[in-house]
A and B are shown apart, each in its own frame.
Chain A
């Protein structure tokens, strides 16, 4: 089978991959993108950051100031607008606040439009948290925890749980939250929900906002429609891993790709062979693709782009067959892995690293699982090989940072293809 040929192949369709594609198309290059399955972006809960928010929050607490939204690069902001999924906080204004299932109101640089932004409520707002018979939604405990959050206290918010009938069938208590969200893709169902919420507001007398679980649509965020119908802001709390926010990202991604005429291949890429003139990708199905350059946007360990694969795993009854680095990329490619500023060489254990020391973040270190990735300069890994997003070693794992790195990669690719 004769291999097709295009300008750039992008491997991975998370925040970094999609941003790379968008920026490459903006630069007039032809693109093919591969999606090998769920990555960190598809698993995330709907809040997006530029810097790790916990560091901002900690600094803000220490200094007793309200953190304000930093500027986002112009092109990154245009990308976010093109994707159409998130609302960014206004530059220089107070940052958005979203509710987390761990009972906090956390700052975010932006958020999925379905999420309720509590920074936009007036001081002393009364927020209703309806009881819904679902395992992830203990409205009483959540309302209690949110009420006790520092931000809620500072703003004088009152979070109140109350009975409500927001599900139609008994089985909806047990289905996955993403499936419940998908039910709200139906307009009639959303109107029904809006009517129930209206009743609730009427019964409660005073309501300044309604905070629900991550159930408001799988393809579109239905929060805005509900807000219009009910007359007060209606929105979601962040979801757990693998919830509706990830589905909405995938839907927004499909819409964007359709608009910019990029075709998404739902296939895992097994290998990237490079020579002086081209890159050749081999897919799971055996199909091959020729490109002038390739961008790896396969994500880190959480996405499966970096695989922890110590030699002891495949040893059977015998000792491991030889020493090698305990991590590899999910596709075979000429890359070097690094973590915490150190390149993985051959290793000094036949079995694997002392994970109890290195795997989880500690006071001193970010933790191997978070920082391991491909060693590169900017976006450049090799002559025709580039990287974007979480696959890059030692970078903060935030959405906006991943998107920006995709834009950087697009520029680097353009430079390389023009023979700079």
Chain B
């Protein structure tokens, strides 16, 4: 393993593979469509490599799209890992200049209870140290507050408060960040295979030759030759390594599950820090148009494609925040999301004490396979730097000397090149000002392309998702230009269906638009939207309150009434029944509904009662 800055071990066989590389389909295969994978694909493409990127699920499907949505400097790491704080802050600054539209300021409040008044000066000094990093990311210096000032700023705070500290962080939409990187890479010539899983990484005589892949939608497989493969699959990294017949432990991570709870609106003006019962720092943050509580950090041994929060985890967080901000108990939860961090592996440490550093494994050194690399660890805030380090290494290995320097900190991400006035955009296109503001947030200057669609076809200015809101033109845009293949993918890119109604009003329509855009039959649309609705329901039901439970019951009833809930039939045995007449149908159904306490024939029911 090499940490950034360490000399890279030289491996024999490099020059031999260089000539073979000429005949390969691509110069580099990147596996993983998270922020690291898309970051590497973009950087490498901009430096002239021919790149193919494979993503098994969707861009930002894992940790990148399920993080706290901040590129924070990590004051948490300052005492143990100041290097992490420095690089995070520095790279945050870069991200801010290449994608200014995706960032929003999140001021934090750290309430200090009476019991901790003695260490208040210490905390103050700590944040004074953090202030030194703030200019790197255009953050404001911290401020000290009295207990009264604290409650004035955030009237929902409770407890015996001695005072507080404010500090400054930046919020970001991780999903949009990945998509922006992927789109830029694609426009510069990279080939993207979203929804295709790599089945094998082939190497011969210690040199990477090709990857075999399969489109998980169509089931069609393929092979692409390449001299280099970067495994940027986050928590999936050891699985991916095993696809190259390497021991998984050579790309080992310490998978840490983190969940977040989402409320239907912004509950506070500031993000508020709190402590859990076991002394971990958590927070409630206003994020885009909702509030989010995060996060947990627990070792994870489950299915990486299917990570969901549980009631128990939700309660742990709500209990922690309720200590200082009890209103969360009565507030309306509209969903949860969960992801698994690919933290660097260490045995015997508590999850929170693990390093947030990143590292690159050169499998030439560890396994004798030249051209295969694994990216482990890392943070959203320093993804760009991590990608730059990865591509620097690739260039050195390819040329035997440093290649062209990275430009990813200078070149704007799509839409980040200039500012767009959302209000003027709303007037020009005759759309709602809030819809325009949200659109410009997500797409920056590229919102104009969506505007042009609406000029060409006025019907595309119709609202699909009322909660967010999302217009039809944006849905069509993300299907055509941002690799969205399902309603879930559209949600990840636009926040469609993630609002208070849980997609009940928009999933069917969105499914129809996606299917049309991709040339699929309408029944594919129906299945896709049903899958989305039931999947999202699973992320909501672990956090029900009285109102949410009623809404959920209505959602179930409404789905049953209009589409039927897609569960496997309890009547599977019916097929074995010989007769094919209606009497049998009714008998079969009668059987399955045997638990009914009252039958439709009221006379019969009386006997039963």
Pair B560/A141 contact, Cβ less than 8 Å: no
- Distance of A395 from chain B, by nearest CB (Å): 5
B90-98, B398-406, B433-441, B563-571: which lies at the interface:
B563-571
Interface string of B120-159 (1 = CB under 8 A from A): 0000000000000000000000000000000000000011
- Distance of A29 from chain B, by nearest CB (Å): 17
Interface string of B588-609 (1 = CB under 8 A from A): 1110110111111111011011
Q: A104-B562, A307-B546, A354-B310 are in contact. Are A62 and B602 (CB under 8 A)?
A: no
* Complex CA–CA separation, A65 to B597 (angstroms): 28
Q: Which residue of A lies closest to B604 (CB)?
A: A73
In the complex, chain A residues whose CB is within 8 Å of the CB of B159: 317
Pair A313/B546 contact, Cβ less than 8 Å: yes
- Distance of A353 from chain B, by nearest CB (Å): 7
Pair A408/B605 contact, Cβ less than 8 Å: yes
Pair B553/A370 contact, Cβ less than 8 Å: yes
| Interface size bracket, B side | 35 or more
Q: A67-B585, A104-B526, A141-B513 are in contact. Are A352 and B609 (CB under 8 A)?
A: no
In the complex, chain A residues whose CB is within 8 Å of the CB of B521: 148
Return the contact of B597 from the options A67, A68, A378 (Cβ within 8 A): A378
Pair B561/A369 contact, Cβ less than 8 Å: no
Q: A54-B564, A302-B550, A312-B315 are in contact. Are A401 and B598 (CB under 8 A)?
A: yes
In the complex, chain A residues whose CB is within 8 Å of the CB of B523: 148-149
In the complex, chain B residues whose CB is within 8 Å of the CB of A362: 567
Q: A45-B561, A47-B561 are in contact. Are A369 and B606 (CB under 8 A)?
A: no
Q: Which residue of A lies closest to B530 (CB)?
A: A102
Q: Which residue of A lies closest to B559 (CB)?
A: A102
Return the contact of A40 from the options B529, B557, B563, B574 (Cβ within 8 A): B557
Q: Which residue of B lies closest to A309 (CB)?
A: B546
A138 on interface, CB distance cutoff 8 Å: yes
A238 on interface, CB distance cutoff 8 Å: yes
* Complex CA–CA separation, A341 to B466 (angstroms): 40
Q: Which residue of B lies closest to A314 (CB)?
A: B329
Interface string of A341-354 (1 = CB under 8 A from B): 10000000001111
- Distance of B314 from chain A, by nearest CB (Å): 9
In the complex, chain B residues whose CB is within 8 Å of the CB of A369: 549, 552-553, 556
- Distance of A374 from chain B, by nearest CB (Å): 11
A90 on interface, CB distance cutoff 8 Å: no
Return the contact of A359 from the options B315, B464, B544, B546 (Cβ within 8 A): B544
A209-250 CB contacts (< 8 Å) to partner B: 238, 240-241
In the complex, chain B residues whose CB is within 8 Å of the CB of A394: 595-597
* Complex CA–CA separation, A304 to B548 (angstroms): 11
A287 on interface, CB distance cutoff 8 Å: no
Q: Which residue of B lies closest to A43 (CB)?
A: B554
In the complex, chain B residues whose CB is within 8 Å of the CB of A392: 597-598
Pair A59/B311 contact, Cβ less than 8 Å: no
- Distance of A58 from chain B, by nearest CB (Å): 5
- Distance of B597 from chain A, by nearest CB (Å): 5
* Complex CA–CA separation, A58 to B558 (angstroms): 18
Return the contact of A73 from the options B589, B595, B600, B608 (Cβ within 8 A): B600
In the complex, chain B residues whose CB is within 8 Å of the CB of A68: 582, 586
Return the contact of A313 from the options B323, B330, B562, B590 (Cβ within 8 A): B330
Pair B596/A396 contact, Cβ less than 8 Å: yes
Interface string of B457-483 (1 = CB under 8 A from A): 000001110100000000000000000
- Distance of A81 from chain B, by nearest CB (Å): 15
Q: A63-B585, A66-B582, A148-B521 are in contact. Are A361 and B567 (CB under 8 A)?
A: yes
* Complex CA–CA separation, A240 to B509 (angstroms): 13
A367 on interface, CB distance cutoff 8 Å: yes
A282 on interface, CB distance cutoff 8 Å: no
In the complex, chain A residues whose CB is within 8 Å of the CB of B391: none
Pair A308/B549 contact, Cβ less than 8 Å: yes
Pair B512/A59 contact, Cβ less than 8 Å: no
A10-60 CB contacts (< 8 Å) to partner B: 40, 43-45, 47, 50-60
In the complex, chain A residues whose CB is within 8 Å of the CB of B601: 71-73, 404
B516-562 CB contacts (< 8 Å) to partner A: 516, 521-523, 525-526, 529-530, 534, 537-538, 541-546, 549-550, 552-554, 556-558, 560-562
B279 on interface, CB distance cutoff 8 Å: no
* Complex CA–CA separation, A72 to B604 (angstroms): 12
Pair B600/A361 contact, Cβ less than 8 Å: no
Return the contact of B602 from the options A73, A367, A393 (Cβ within 8 A): A73
Return the contact of A308 from the options B462, B464, B546, B560 (Cβ within 8 A): B546
Pair A103/B522 contact, Cβ less than 8 Å: yes
A270 on interface, CB distance cutoff 8 Å: no
* Complex CA–CA separation, A308 to B563 (angstroms): 26
A57-101 CB contacts (< 8 Å) to partner B: 57-60, 62-68, 70-73, 75-76, 100-101
B584 on interface, CB distance cutoff 8 Å: yes
* Complex CA–CA separation, A136 to B315 (angstroms): 36
B412 on interface, CB distance cutoff 8 Å: no
Q: A145-B522, A312-B329, A360-B537 are in contact. Are A238 and B553 (CB under 8 A)?
A: no
Pair A65/B581 contact, Cβ less than 8 Å: yes
Query: Which residue among B310, B311, B525, B581 has the maximum number of chain A CB atoms within 10 Å of its CB?
Result: B311
Pair B600/A356 contact, Cβ less than 8 Å: no
B580 on interface, CB distance cutoff 8 Å: yes
**Closest 5 A-B residue pairs measured CB to CB?**
A378-B609, A54-B564, A308-B549, A141-B512, A302-B553
Other contacts beyond A43-B558, A56-B589, A307-B549: 12, CB < 8 A = A43-B557, A63-B580, A100-B561, A238-B561, A308-B546, A312-B318, A319-B319, A352-B315, A355-B543, A356-B542, A370-B557, A407-B602
Name 13 A/B residue pairs within 8 A (Cβ), A-sorted. Answer: A59-B574, A64-B580, A102-B530, A147-B522, A240-B505, A302-B550, A302-B553, A312-B315, A356-B542, A360-B534, A360-B538, A370-B553, A404-B602
